Amino acid sequence: MPRVLLVTPPLTQLNTPYPATAYLTGLLASRGVSASQADLSLETALALFSRDGLGRLFAAIRGGAGWAPEVGHFLDREASYLETVDRVVAFLQGRDPTLATRICRGDLLPAGPRFGADEIDLDQAFGTLGLLDRARHFATLYLYDLADLAQHTVAPRFGLSRYGEALASSATSFDPLAAALAEPPGLIERLLEEVLAPHMERVRPSLVGLTVPFPGNLYGALRIAQAIRRDHPAVRIALGGGFVNTELRQLDEPRLFDLVDYVLLDDGERPLLALCDHLAGGRPEARLARTFVRRDGQVAFVDGAGEPDLAQAELPAPSYRGLPLDRYLSVSELGNPMHRLWSDGRWSKLTVAHGCYWKRCTFCDVGLDYIARYDPLQARDLCDRMDRLVADTGESGFHFVDEAAPPLGLCELALELLARGRCVSFWGNIRFEKTFTVDVCRLLARAGCIAVSGGLEVASDRLLALIEKGVTVAQVARVASAFAEAGVMVHAYLMYGFPTETAQETIDSLERVRQLFAAGALDSAFWHRFTLTRHSPIARDPAAFGITVAGPPLGRFANNDLIHADPTGCDPGRLSDGLRRAVFNYMHGLGLERDVRTWFAHKTPRARVSPDFIATALAGRAAADPTRPDARLVWLGGSVRLALGRRPGLEIVGPGDHRFVVVSAKVAAWAAEVLSGATPLGRGDRPYLRKPEAAAAFPGGGEAFARFTSSAAWAQLHEAGLIEIP
C-alpha cells in the first residue's frame, strides 16, 4: 500500500481543523494504510504571523513602491508589531492568558484601521467582566490588520479564511489559474513551500491527497502540487473535496493534470481506497471509482470499481492524530454570534447522517451525492465516536456539519448522551420543522446543544412554497422560539433575490425578521444573495420559476454558478446594504422599533405585514404543537422524594431548584415510579415508558389520567423536567 499524506491547503479556519483529512486518515488507518495529515492552512498562517514572517513581510513592503498612504502607519510601527506578534499568537492559542490585562489596557498592541472601524460598543458587548473576551477581540483585530496589510501590498490574494478565491470563483476557464501559477512565488507561496517541506521529508509519501473544500483553497492546493511536482516528481497527487464535487463534475481541462494525477469525486472514501489499491498493484486503472485521469492528452472519467459507497456504519471515527491541536487560534469576531461560534474554540466535526433527509429545496444541489444519499448513523455509534474523539483530543465540543441534522436522530443522540452521563457541547444545522417541539428542544439543550442554525430563507410563505422548504414563517417562529426558550442560540440563514421575488416581498420578509428578533426568537442571522447553481432543480427547469439562464456556457474547467435573468423580480443589489445594516443592528438589540424602510438609502415600499404577525404565531404555539398520544416520557428533573404524610406529594430537588408538587398519595406513588423509570442516566437498552402505558397504570385508569394531564400538578411536573418526545 502507498504511504499517504493528506493535506489541507490554505486557507480555511484558524480555530479548528477542517475535518476532511481527519475522516480520511481514520479510514485509511482502519484499512492498514499508512496515512499522515498536515494542516498547511494553519501552518502557513502561523508562519506569516510570527516575528520572522512579519519581518519578511515588512522587508518585502519596503522593497516595493506605490502603496496606499495607510501602509505608512504599519511601517512606522514595525518594531511594535515584531515585538508583539508571537505573544499575541500565543495568547490566541490559549497559552498566555495573563496577557489579557495588558492587551485591554491599550498600550501594548499597535492599533491599525480595524480598531477604528469597529461598529460595536464593546462595553455593551462585554460589560465589565469580559476581560479575556475583550482581549481576544483586540488580538483578532490586530491579526486582521496585518492580513489587510499583506493583502493590500505584496500578497493581494491573501485573506485569513481564503487564498486566491477570485481565481476559482466561476472559473469556467483554467487560464486565470494557469497565469497565476506561472508567476514567480511571492511571500505567501514561499512560506507555503517552507511549511510543506518538513512533512514531505518526514512522511516520504508516495501519494499526496489535497482537499479543496472551498474556492479559496484551490490556488493554494495547486501551488502545493506545483512544488511537489518540481521537487518530488515520483509522488502521485490526488485532488478532492467540496469544490471539486460541485464545480469540476464536467472536468475537461487537460492542463490541470500537469499538476495532479487524479481528481476524485464525492466523499472521496471509496475513490481513495480504490486509488490506494491501484497504486499498490491490486487493481487496474479501469477499476478506479469516480475518478478523473488524463489519457493520451485528454481527460477521462473512470468509474469501473463497481463497489457501493461506504455506509456511515462502516466508517471509523475521524482521527486528528498528527495535527497540532494546541496551535489553533481562537479568534473573536463580534459582528455575528454564529460567525463567532465558527471561529471561536476548537470543534470536532461530525455528522448525524450523511446527506439530507429532506432534499427538496429547489435552490439546493439535491442531485449530488453529498445531499442525495441519505444515510443516518445510529445514536450509539455516533456517541461512541464522540467518546473516542474526546479521549483522543481532550476536547468536548462538537459541530455537526449535516446539511440538516435529522430531528429524531438528534433526539436519540441526546438520550444516549444523557444515558452515558456525558458532558459535551454541540451545535449544527437543522430544518425549522415541527418535530422540534418545546420538549424536544429542552431535551437537546439538556444533552449539550448550545446553538442551531437553519434556513428561514425568504420569510414569505409564497416563496417558501416555491422553494419547497416544507415550512411556513409561523412554524419557523414557533420552532425558533422553542429553542430560544431552552437556552439554545438560534441563527437563521436568510436569502434575497430568489426568482420572482419582488421588492415588496423582500421588505415584508425583513419586517418578519425584525419581529422574530424583537420576540427573542432569533439571536443571529445573515443574508445571502440567491445564486443559481447548475445542479439545482431551478437550473433543471428555470421556466417553472419564471427565469431564463443567460450563461455562462459550459466550460472545460469549473462549472457550477449560472447567470440568470428574472423579468418579474426586483434588483436585489439595491437592497443588499439595507438588509445587512438592519440585521447587524437587530443582532445587537438596536433599531427593533424602527420602520424597516429607514435602513435603506433609497425609497422602498412600506411593509404590508401585520405588526403582531410573529406574536400571533407564537400565541398559537400550543395548538399548533400538540403532544403525540404515544409520546415517550422522559424525566430531566432532579431527585424525587415521595412524601406520604399529612400533606402527600412529591418533593423535587435539582441543582438550582427545589419544589413540592401536591397530589394524592396514590398519584404521588404512581408519579414517583414513572419518573424514576423515565430517567436517562444509566438506562442502557431499556425502552422509555409511553403515555398509554403510563395511563394504564394511573390510579383510576385512562380517563383519570386524561384529567390529570390537564391539571396544575401535571404542569408543575412538566416545568420541573417531565418531557414528552416522539
Return the pLDDT at 347: 94
Q: Do residues 269 and 250 touch, judged by C-beta distance below 8 A? A: no
CATH of domain 4-43+162-314: 3.40.50.2300
How do the domains of the chain map onto residue ranges? Answer: 4-43+162-314, 65-153, 335-623, 632-725
Distance CA 522, CA 447 (A): 21
Collect all residues with Cβ–Cβ distance below 8 Å to 564 and sequence separation of at least 6. Answer: 499, 532, 542, 547, 548, 549, 550
Give the predicted TM-score (pTM) of the model: 0.94
Interval 499-521: pLDDT, tens: 999 999 999 999 999 999 999 99
Distance CA 653, CA 675 (A): 13
C-alpha cell at 487: 437556552
Crossing angle of helices 40-48 and 215-231, in 10° steps, is 90
CATH of domain 335-623: 3.80.30.20
Neighbours of 438 (CB within 10 A): 21
Local mean pLDDT, 10-residue blocks, the chain (726 residues):
96 93 97 97 98 98 93 96 97 95 92 75 56 90 96 94 90 95 97 98 98 96 98 98 95 98 95 97 96 97 93 94 95 79 89 96 94 95 97 95 96 97 97 95 98 97 97 96 97 97 97 98 96 95 95 93 92 94 94 97 96 94 74 94 87 86 93 93 90 93 92 94 94
Distance CA 259, CA 529 (A): 34
Q: SS3 of 210, please?
A: strand
Interval 430-445: pLDDT, tens: 999 999 999 999 999 9
Return the pLDDT at 128: 47
Q: In which residue are the cell numbers 492498514 written?
A: 32
Distance CA 142, CA 116 (A): 11
Q: Do residues 371 and 356 touch, judged by C-beta distance below 8 A? A: yes
Can you say whether the dihedral through the CA atoms of 439, 445, 449, 452 is positive or negative? positive
Q: Do residues 498 and 466 touch, judged by C-beta distance below 8 A? A: yes
Distance CA 501, CA 112 (A): 41
Q: In which residue are the cell numbers 425583513 written?
A: 510
User: Is omega for the bond preceding 552 within 30 degrees of 0, making it cis?
Assistant: yes
Strands 397-400 and 262-264: unpaired
Distance CA 361, CA 669 (A): 50
Name the residue type at position 428: G
Return the pLDDT at 654: 83
Strand partners, 526: 493
Q: Do residues 166 and 151 touch, judged by C-beta distance below 8 A? A: no
Angle at CA of residue 225, ends 224 and 227, nearest 5°: 65
Count of helix runs (H) and strand runs (E) in the chain: 31, 25
Q: Do residues 249 and 291 touch, judged by C-beta distance below 8 A? A: no
Return the pLDDT at 655: 79
Among 605, 545, 608, smallest CA distance to 575 is for 605
Q: SS3 of 547, please?
A: coil
The phi, psi pair for 720, rounded to 5°, reads -80, -15
